[in-house]
Structure 1
Amino acid sequence: MSRAVVYETFGGPEVLDVREVPEPHAGPGEIRIRVAAAGLNPMDWGLAAHPALAAQFGVTVPAGFGYDLAGVVDEVGDGAIGFSVGQRVFGGVMAKAAADFTVVATPAETLWPTPEGIGDEVAATLPVAGLTAAAALSAIGLRSGDTLLVGGAAGGVGVFAVQLAKLAGARVLGTAGEGTFDFLRRLGAEPVTYGPGLADRVRSLAPGGVTAAADLFGTETAEAALALGVPPERISTVAAGPNPPGGVRATGGVDADHGALARITGAILAGELTVPIAATFPVEKVREAVILQAGRHVHGKIVLTFSLTTDERPHRNERSPGD
């Protein structure tokens, strides 16, 4: 037996249970990943809470939980391609990440080799947040010399967007609560309080004007940017639905270019980008982890960790490529 986070009905954190389930194994064309860490995203508990949203992603109850993960391949089925036993990997699997083991069909376009020098907890934070941040900046053609307004700058996506924008040579203003200001300054952003009057506060902070904006939470920042005269094509949203206000650009992680994660991991290895992990929880405390994240006052990412009680030696189901 092994463990997995599952929910049988839609609802809040209380519907999430850690269950003993039959240990899965890789079949033909599949690999099995022994999960070491799973990074949480708002999407995860959004799917568990909202049936209509879950349906958009093909998730039905009973369902597994989580998308981002990192671990090691410990079984390779006959005919599976691209992976070998013992290989460290990170990436995304819909509603299957928060489990001791998950089985993935190959070729697996949302899994990548984990670079040496990047730990599993950090790797498990990268896929959704990193790709979403990259897409939000790409959609507006961010360039050196821009003055960028980032909405939700201290959140899981925001910490990546702020640092990627700084690396691109932009000045970054980030919306946040006052308790987050020092945190944002350490990332290189100039903090500004969100809420009514945002446009006026931004105007005072940047009298020369804002040239681009990325709204990572709702529409407040996008609306402020429009009021400041930023052209709609230079404003992106990631959580405002398909029809954001004023014709600004809606985007998401699926729109990121293929080299985005390689640039992010390269920047981490070079010491140019840090991944703030606000908290780690053992998988048994998944409800507490989701409650903390849903409060939206977390500075950075939240990660679930796994300590397996089963035999952790790599297994071969048939053979590994190259054997």
Structure 2
Amino acid sequence: MGQAWGFGRYGGPEVQEFFDRPDPVPGRGEVLIRVDVAGVNPLDHLLRAGLVPGLDGGRPFPLVLGMEAAGTVLALGEDVDGLEVGDAVFGFALTGGGTYAETTVLSAPNTARIPAGLSATVAGTLPGAGTTAGDAIVQLRLPAGGNLQVLAGL
């Protein structure tokens, strides 16, 4: 049993609260981690407000906030290759898994080992921001030798 930060009904910040929940069990293609860092994203308040139907994965209330995290692998579901218990990893918790918790389940295809020299603090924020940046670069269709100016970053 661990603690999580989430909400028991849709609404504004006033519906957020801590609650106890059993540790999730990883299913096929999932990885259970002890959360060290959870990223904060605009999707969090949209999920809490009920503005992104289906993003909760059809899970019942209470729902846990958070979509990305870094931590240590505690258990592996079936059909997970390339990761082992004890690995330091980062990735996405898809369909309402929630990362604002002591433990969470990540999607194995969207989870990777944290590279040497990269902190868990940085790794835990990369899935959302990194995916957004990657998508933007693809959509810009820069020609060979083109330039991209980044106005902010870590």
Q: Deviations over 1:279-312 (max 9, x none)?
A: xxxxxxxxxxxxxxxxxxxxxxxxxxxxxxxxxx
Pair 1:77–1:57, CA change in 2 (3 A): closer
Which residue number corresponds to residue 45 of structure 2? 45
Report the alpha carbon displacement of residue 128 of structure 1 after superposing the two structures with TM.
Answer: 1.1
- Measure the CA separation in 2 of the matches of 1:27 and 1:141: 38
Contact 2:29 2:109 in 1 (8 A): no
Correspondences of 1:210-221 after superposition (within 5 Å): none
Q: Deviations over 1:12-34 (max 9, x none)?
A: 12211111222334467653201
Could you list the runs of 5+ residues in structure 1 that have no partner in the other structure? 147-168, 175-183, 188-273, 276-323
Which residue number corresponds to residue 83 of structure 2? 83
Which residue number corresponds to residue 54 of structure 1? 53
Report the alpha carbon displacement of residue 93 of structure 1 after superposing the two structures with TM.
Answer: 0.4
- Measure the CA separation in 2 of the matches of 1:111 and 1:127: 9
Report the alpha carbon displacement of residue 77 of structure 1 after superposing the two structures with TM.
Answer: 4.9
Pair 1:126–1:22, CA change in 2 (3 A): same
Correspondences of 1:265-284 after superposition (within 5 Å): 275=154
Task: Please tell me the root mean square deviation across aligned C-alpha atoms, in Å.
Answer: 2.6
Q: Which of 98, 101, 104 lines up with 2:103 in the alignment?
A: 101
**What is the letter of the counterpart of residue 5 of structure 1?**
W
Contact 2:26 2:32 in 1 (8 A): yes
- Measure the CA separation in 2 of the matches of 1:124 and 1:39: 6
Report the alpha carbon displacement of residue 56 of structure 1 after superposing the two structures with TM.
Answer: 5.3
Secondary structure of residue in 1 paired with 2:52: helix
What is the TM-score of this pair, normalised by structure 2? 0.82
Query: Is 2:6 the counterpart of 1:22?
Result: no
- Measure the CA separation in 1 of the matches of 2:11 and 2:32: 29
- Measure the CA separation in 2 of the matches of 1:17 and 1:64: 10
Secondary structure of residue in 2 paired with 1:134: helix
- Measure the CA separation in 2 of the matches of 1:13 and 1:73: 31
- Measure the CA separation in 1 of the matches of 2:22 and 2:52: 28
Q: Whose Rg is larger?
A: 1
- Measure the CA separation in 2 of the matches of 1:56 and 1:93: 11
Secondary structure of residue in 2 paired with 1:70: strand
Pair 1:98–1:59, CA change in 2 (3 A): farther
**What is the letter of the counterpart of residue 35 of structure 2?**
V
Q: Deviations over 1:36-94 (max 9, x none)?
A: 00011101111111x24133563554112110100010223566433201111101103
Higher helix fraction: Structure 1 or Structure 2? 1
Which residue number corresponds to residue 223 of structure 1? none
Number of equivalences: 151
Which residue number corresponds to residue 130 of structure 2? 130
Higher RCO (Cα < 8 Å, 6 or more apart): 2
What is the TM-score of this pair, normalised by structure 1? 0.42
Secondary structure of residue in 2 paired with 1:71: strand
Q: Deviations over 1:124-169 (max 9, x none)?
A: 11111111111112112124665xxxxxxxxxxxxxxxxxxxxxx3
- Measure the CA separation in 2 of the matches of 1:122 and 1:100: 18
